[in-house]
A and B are shown apart, each in its own frame.
Chain A
Amino acid sequence: MKHDFNELRLDRVTRRFAGAGGHAFNALNDLTLTVRRGEFIALLGPSGCGKSTALNCIAGLMPLSSGTIRLDDTRIDTLPPERRGFGMVFQNYALFPHMSVGKNIGFGLRMRGMAQSDAAPRVAHALRLVQLTGQEHKLPGQLSGGQQQRVAIARAIVIEPPLILMDEPLSNLDAKLRLETRSEIRRIHRELGRATIYVTHDQDEALSLADRIVVMKDGVVQQIGTPEEVYAQPANIHVARFMGYRNVIELAVTGERDGHVTLEASDMKLTGVRKLPLDGKRAAVAIRPEEITIATEPAATNVIGGRVDNVEYGGRDSLVEVVTATGTRLHVRAGGKVSTGANVFVHVPPERVLVYPSEMQ
């Protein structure tokens, strides 16, 4: 077990499961990724995309079907979890119910044969780090969910692992606690500077925590990039949809010049930016609700007329659904007051319209 490393290299890591009727399917397909020292990586994707499988493979809780994992020059994918020495935080905390908070946190040190007198200050330090000083004699069952998850984090970091793995650690917490614990995870990561791989299905969590995001779908990596890249330049329509581009519309391509594409349907005419080479006469455009503005009159280009069908009030702004003449539904975030049933025009700047190959082809 090393204390720190330069690179964790995952090379074509694949995990196959026997599916229904004896058909094997790849829960994780050729994941190739290099994690650098101190880096915070988020594995992001919908449930069933293989992100937890990837984490379990790295932790050693699940054998690989093929591929290798190397920590610098040491191959580790054949080692059992107890010899990899990575700290792991589980979705349902997985605290040992029969041990006090202090014993839980000290468990990893005890397994390493550390004397009680050496372990105690480190446990105390970990407790301070997660702001639970004074709770060490309680049983996990006496703590709230948020506190339990913080104990789980303390238990994982007290062994000073080279790599910390977190499997949707916030998904069992309520909204307020989730935000608090999120900041806490960020703070702890800054303080310890340990590489972290964080699994989540929540793009906000991934964007706010990670240095780099790995977006996955159906066991396949769709994009690896910084939060800015993934947010503003989704590599494909799946990533776009997952990163909050709620409006995905199939249109006919009418022209293409210098990376700008014009597209058309009977009730709208749009100009957008081509993100991938287009093949064929149709394409899909992706637009975020917050990039669309509601206009009162048809001024410039990229204007679509429609009727307000639904308004969800959200405080600072409202989520408005606008339906066009042919029934295409557009999701719009609007600041002003919009009433249901009103006829409106919506406008979106051409550089905010991302054009991808059609999914139908």
Chain B
Amino acid sequence: MLSAQARTPGFDRALLLVVPAALFMLLLFIYPFVYGLVLSFEPKEGGWLANYHKFFTTGNLWPTIGTTLKLALPATLINVFVALPIAYKMRVKSRWQRWMTTLLVVPITLGTVLIAEGMLTYFGPRGWLAQFLQLTHLYGGAIRLTHNYWGVLISLVISGFPFAFLLILSYITGIDPVLARAASTLGADPKAQFRHIYLPLLGPGLAMCFCLAFVQAFSVFPSAVLLGAPAGPTRVISIAAYEAAFEQYDYSLASAIAMIMGAVQLVIVAFVLSLRGWFYKGPVTGGKG
């Protein structure tokens, strides 16, 4: 019975396994999204676009887009482009690889709050770093790395770097090392091997990694509050949404802000993914395995 069913290209019952996940998506993602979208067009007062109008005309709302981008874009760029050379160096199995990977991955297991807590102690004005620098007379001035832009940026790098690193490492180790060896016999030094072989093959992966890291950084909230200056330079868009929802109890405005946040992410992600079109997107091996 079963084999007869398998031979005919009809309905495959294994597809039913998708149902729980689809339901889950529907209940926890699509429904809230649509609900939020509809809610954002039902402002407390004014026409159906009043919330969006308010966002883009209020002095402490629309600049949050820029504030967030100013944090998320550099953090993402740092994460991706610092992780890339390190992952490239570590593509070959070595004694250190496991230790380095473990060390670099630890922050991913810590929550943002724990990182913030640690950073406050370490980078604070009376923290270990400041004490160490003063003790060794390397730098006597005031250290301001918390409760401002830099604090949030550092925390985004600490929490986002392992993620980017692991993703890129897995892309790089997926590239057959025999390609680089072939390139070397054709006269490509290590720099040329990276430029002509690894980089083009990594392109799509890097774009994907950038998108994921960016989305993660763009929705920064805890560290912006704990390590930043949530009233000023690190008043990110999620803080604006939080305030609208839980301080002004304007769920409709909060929904509109959330929608704008999603739209900004979508624009950046769509742009970066469109760059992938420049790259080769097939399998990354050089022939039969």
A-to-B contact residues, CB < 8 Å: 59-61, 80-82, 84-88, 90, 92-98, 107-108, 111-112, 139-141, 145, 148-149, 152, 155-156, 159, 165, 172
Contact = CB atoms under 8 A, between A and B. Distances in A.
Contact of B280 (A94, A98, A165): A98
A84 to B, nearest CB: 8
Nearest to A110: B196
Given A82-B189, A92-B178, A141 B283 contact: yes
B66 interface: no
Given A97-B201, A141-B282, A148 B287 contact: yes
Interface residues of B, number: 27
Given A92-B288, A92-B289, A159 B282 contact: no
A61 B186 contact: no
Contacts of B279: 98
B287 A86 contact: no
A234 B280 CA distance: 51
Given A98-B200, A98-B279, A98-B280, A80 B184 contact: yes
B286 interface: yes
Contacts of B182: 88, 90, 94-96
Interface string B224-248: 0000000000000000000000000
B187 A82 contact: yes
A82 B184 contact: yes
A10 B64 CA distance: 69
A155 B288 contact: no
Nearest to A98: B280
B287 A159 contact: no
A97 B285 contact: yes
A241 B185 CA distance: 35
Given A139-B282, A141-B282, A94 B186 contact: no
A244 B284 CA distance: 40
Nearest to B197: A96
B188 interface: yes
Contacts of A152: 287
B176 interface: yes
Contacts of A85: 187
Nearest to B180: A94
B77 interface: no
A279 B79 CA distance: 71
A159 B182 CA distance: 13
B126 interface: no
Contacts of A149: 287
A81 B186 CA distance: 8
A94 B287 contact: yes
Contacts of A172: 287-288
Listed residue (B176, B181, B185) with the most chain A CB atoms within 10 angstroms of its CB:
B185
Contacts of A59: 185
B282 A111 contact: no
Given A80-B189, A82-B189, A107-B196, A95 B184 contact: no
Given A82-B189, A140-B287, A165-B185, 4 more contacts: A90-B178, A94-B176, A97-B283, A155-B186
B272 interface: no
Nearest to B199: A98
B181 A94 contact: yes
A152 B187 CA distance: 15
A94 B179 contact: yes
28 contacts: A59-B185, A61-B181, A80-B184, A87-B186, A88-B185, A90-B286, A92-B178, A92-B289, A93-B287, A93-B288, A94-B179, A94-B181, A94-B182, A95-B182, A97-B201, A97-B280, A97-B286, A98-B279, A107-B183, A107-B188, A111-B183, A111-B187, A112-B187, A139-B282, A140-B286, A145-B288, A152-B287, A165-B185
A228 to B, nearest CB: 32
Contact of A107 (B176, B186, B201, B288): B186
Contacts of B289: 92
A51 to B, nearest CB: 17
B86 interface: no
B113 interface: no
A88 B186 CA distance: 8
Nearest to B281: A98
Interface string B189-215: 100100011001100000000000000
B286 A93 contact: yes
A140 to B, nearest CB: 7
Contacts of B200: 98
A59 B189 CA distance: 14
Contacts of B181: 61, 81, 90, 94
Contacts of A93: 286-288
